[in-house]
Amino acid sequence: MRIMVVDDSKTMRMIVKRTLRQAGYGDHSVEEASNGKEALEAIKASKPGLILCDWNMPEMNGLELLQTLNSEGIKVSFGFVTSEGTPEMQKIAEENGALFLISKPFTSDTFQEKLGSVLS
Amino acid sequence: MNEQMASAREWLDSAISASEEIATVALGLEGVELVGIRKEPPDEQGSAHIALVGEQNSVQIGIASNINGCQELARTLLGMEPDEEDLAEDEVADAMGEIANILAGQVKTMMAERNITVNLGIPIFINGHVEVTTEKDVAAADIQLGAIPATIIVLTNREDN
């Protein structure tokens, strides 16, 4: 499966990719985008199977990306990987169709738990 | 329920608690040690700051270290080997920004339990001294993240303004 990692921090994109490998998902191809706007164009072009997306980003944030995907009828498994971990944000994520919200900092165990059903 | 205002010291205490998770989970270190509370930000350091803004509270939370400390924090976050080349300045800035981001996110979650709601901004990295004006309250603490010295800096609007 093609996985897209969306985060304005190159450091965090590297950490997400590393954690995917540590969780045993290193066989999946990974592409990157640095904000929601860039991700939207890439999603339409390459049609990934899973988006791992930060929340707070310039240009278009993660929630705006998810809402745009919904409004344009683009169906893709979507999860947040974000520093936003409050119950309020988890509820917003769920209401907008996100499969999960992984709070930073995270471990490979968390990735296995949340991504297992999507990637296996 | 009306949202309450938290003092700079209260925000700092939450950030100090949150730094344990940063140390052990994000950085893979043994833990964090509180070295001491300080009255103002350190001189000439690299620091990453992020704003947390709500109806009643407006805060900047930052994490600072010296040049070597910032490099070490960035390398540790990325899980780099000792023999790998040093990171470039922009890479260090990005990594420090991400540490500040994670710290602020943890603080936001902790404060939400006290019915304090804030929105997170996007981190910035500064090389140099953070000058605190008279309209601001500052609370800061020197910590050790494993063997890496760092300072947590909190700036809020002065309550009597």
Tell me what pLDDT residue B160 has. Answer: 55
**Integer Rg of chain A from CA:** 13
Q: How far is Cα A97 from Cα A13, in angstroms, rounded to an integer? A: 22
A86/B108 CB distance under 8 A: yes
Task: Tell me the residue length of chain B.
Answer: 161
Residues of A with CB below 8 A from B70's CB?
A: none
**B142, pLDDT greater than 90:** yes
Query: Which of A14, A83, A88 is closest, CB to CB, to B105?
Result: A83
**3-state DSSP of A84-95:** CCCHHHHHHHHH
Chain B residue with the nearest C-alpha to that of A107: B25
Parallel, antiparallel, or unpaired: how do β-strands A77-82 and A50-53 relate? parallel
pLDDT band at B97 (very low <50, low <70, confident <90, very high): very high
Residues of A with CB below 8 A from B78's CB?
A: 11, 14-15
B109/A85 CB distance under 8 A: yes
Residues of B with CB below 8 A from A18's CB?
A: 79
Parallel, antiparallel, or unpaired: how do β-strands B45-53 and A77-82 relate? unpaired
DSSP secondary structure, B96-156, as one string: HHHHHHHHHHHHHHHHHTTT---EE---EEEEE--PPPTTEEEEEEEEEETTEEEEEEEEE
Element (H, E) at A113: helix A108-119
**B61, pLDDT greater than 80:** yes
Tell me what pLDDT residue B159 has. Answer: 66
The whole-number average pLDDT for the span B105-110 is 96
Residues of A with CB below 8 A from B95's CB?
A: 11
Pair of tokens at residue B53 = 């803004």
* B79: alpha, beta or left? (left if phi > 0; alpha if psi -120 to 50): left
The whole-number average pLDDT for the span B61-73 is 96
Q: Which residues contact A46 (CB under 8 A, 6 or more apart)?
A: A2, A4, A31
Residues of B with CB below 8 A from A36's CB?
A: none
pLDDT digits (tens, 9 = 90+) for A44-84: 999 999 999 999 999 999 999 999 999 999 999 999 999 99
The whole-number average pLDDT for the span A78-104 is 96
Q: For residues A19 and A102, is the Cβ–Cβ distance under 8 A?
A: no
Pair of tokens at residue B62 = 């930052």
**3-state DSSP of A27-93:** CCEEEEECCHHHHHHHHHHHCCCEEEECCCCCCCCHHHHHHHHHHCCCCCEEEEEECCCCHHHHHHH
Total H helices, total E strands in chain A:
5, 5
**B27, pLDDT greater than 90:** yes
Tell me what pLDDT residue B132 has. Answer: 80
Provide, rounded to the nearest whole percent, the portion of chain B with pLDDT above 70: 97
Would you call A23 helix, strand, or coil by DSSP?
A: coil
Short-list B16, B43, B46, CA closest to B145: B16
Taking the CA of residue B92 and the nearest CA in chain A, the distance in Å comes to 9
Could you tell me if B18 lies within 8 Å of chain A, comparing CB atoms?
no
Among A22-26, A29-33, B44-48, the range scoring the smallest mean pLDDT is: B44-48
Question: What is this structure's pTM?
Answer: 0.93
Widest pairwise Cα distance in chain B = 54
Taking the CA of residue A83 and the nearest CA in chain B, the distance in Å comes to 5
